[in-house]
Structure 1
Amino acid sequence: MKIIRDPLAWLLALFVFLVFAMPYSAPLFSALFPQLPRPLYQQQSFWSLTLAHFWLVGVSSAIALLVGVGAGILVTRDAGREFRTLVGTIAAMGQTFPPVAVLAIAVPVMGFGQEPAIIALILYGVLPILQGTLAGLVSVPAGAVAVAQGMGMNGWQRLTKVELPLAAPVIIAGVRTSVIINIGTATIASTVGANTLGTPIIIGLSGFNTAYVIQGAVLVALAAIVVDRLFERLARVFSRHHREQ
């Protein structure tokens, strides 16, 4: 029998196991917290909460990716260089604005649910992606761009065939940071009615139920670790591809 030695595979297997095994862990949490009448969160399945959590993070991160990379490309072109400081300042303001404050402002306008949470996560996720895009594009050797120009490539071809491929490892690092931040930050979306892995945490905090908090926190932390390892693997692939070219 061949033993799998890939740490990522073990982490992913552990996460999936915990998601499906958590509903059967009542005896364990009853022993750990005998003073609690209901030590296991059972209002919703952990599988449905996991899917909702990743959907929320996926949608917000995809939009943040489009905005961050798009803005980064725009302000590194001749037509948009004068807006670089302004764009960076706006993105920084979005991240420094507390997500709870964004939710408090958005809920009266958009109502409870996923929409205000997505807005807050987008604002929080844009800055790392924008910074990674700017750093990656600026680090592209001028000689490589000059060679591409000498080969007759137009601006779009230079961007897609030379600049973005060379900048990809740094851009991925920014996306990695953004997504990991959003996995943790998405837990507060449960305060405005969105279903996430933060739901047991919020209910546990409001009801002084430490067992609920642990159940949600363990899954969120493990999800962040798994996704972080996935991005690390993706960065290695791009770095290897870059060295081979």
Structure 2
Amino acid sequence: MLALVLHPEWFEPMFAPFAPQGAAIIYDRASLLSLSLSHLGIVAAASVAAIIVAVLLAILVTRPSGKAFLPLSRTIANMGQTFPPVAVLALAVPMLGFGSGPTLVALFLYGILPIFENTMTGLSTLPPATMEAARGIGLSRRQRLFQVELPLALPLILTGIRLSVVIAIGTATIGSTVAARTLGEVIIAGLLTNNTAYVLQGGLIVGLFAVLIYDALTQLEAFFPKRLGLAH
């Protein structure tokens, strides 16, 4: 992975059969490293925003005082999945202009639903005996939330975050259609010039990022429950 991003020229023989005669084999209009860092930065910013909003919404609707907001919260969470990211980009460009802004909005909206649903499920299916014990020892609502509920729901929350982030990594490539600096730039350049070598380079790097981050977050899902003493 690092070799492909830092020294793509090493892989020229592998991509050469897919490039048109006389065309460049390795994408050189921009550094693959800088495009990768920009791509991951956009995904990270959108994912952090989605995590904060989705978790707060889930906490709100699982409190007795917030249950009335469940239909509205579900509508908000489903909105991003209802509208295709391309449509969100088209609507956001007139307001935010070209660049990373519309892409951040699209990824943010698209990433809320998995985190919201998993967090809500985790907080709604807590063991009654555990919750009763927490009340019995005199924990306040805030203490129960942070010391009992969120730690018990953490595995499901992390699963939702993993799904959201991996989806965002792949979806972020469309940001290059509105001038965001992502690895989609390499793929689009390949499509416009009929250079399959470019398409493969961009697609391969995005795919490797998705696999590596998926595996890393899976390891976190296994690590935190053990750390918190929740593993069976």
TM-score band (shorter)?
A: over 0.9
How far off is 1:26 after superposition?
Answer: 3.4
Task: Using the TM superposition, name which of 62-71 and 133-142 deviates more.
Answer: 133-142
* Matched letter for residue 204 of structure 1: G
SS across alignment from 1:25: helix
Task: Using the TM superposition, name which of 115-124 and 26-35 deviates more.
Answer: 26-35
CA distance in 2, matches of 1:158, 1:29: 56
How far off is 1:192 after superposition?
Answer: 0.5
2:176 alignment counterpart: 190
How far off is 1:32 after superposition?
Answer: 4.0
CA distance in 2, matches of 1:207, 1:35: 12
* Matched letter for residue 43 of structure 2: V
How far off is 1:115 after superposition?
Answer: 0.6
SS across alignment from 2:142: helix
2:27 alignment counterpart: 41
CA distance in 2, matches of 1:38, 1:243: 54
Q: Does residue 204 of structure 1 match 2:190?
A: yes
User: Residue 73 of structure 1 is aligned with which of 33, 36, 59?
Assistant: 59
CA distance in 2, matches of 1:36, 1:108: 39
CA distance in 1, matches of 2:94, 2:4: 36
Q: 4+ residue runs of structure 1 moved beyond 3 angstroms?
A: 23-28, 241-245
- Shift in alpha-carbon separation, 1:34–1:199, aligned structure 2, 3 A: closer
CA distance in 2, matches of 1:167, 1:191: 38
Which deviations, in whole Å up to 9, do the C-alpha atoms of 1:190-229 show, x marking residues without a partner?
1100111111001111222111110000000000000000
2:76 alignment counterpart: 90
Q: CA RMSD in A?
A: 1.5
CA distance in 1, matches of 2:87, 2:56: 26
Which ranges of structure 1 fall in alignment gaps of 5 or more residues? 1-14
Q: Is the 8 A contact 1:36 1:209 kept in 2?
A: no
* Matched letter for residue 77 of structure 1: R
CA distance in 2, matches of 1:40, 1:234: 35
Which ranges of structure 2 fall in alignment gaps of 5 or more residues? none
Alignment of 1:122-201 (within 5 A): 122-201=108-187
1:18 alignment counterpart: 4
CA distance in 1, matches of 2:191, 2:223: 41
Q: Is the 8 A contact 1:57 1:186 kept in 2?
A: yes
CA distance in 2, matches of 1:244, 1:103: 42
Q: Is the 8 A contact 2:4 2:11 kept in 1?
A: no
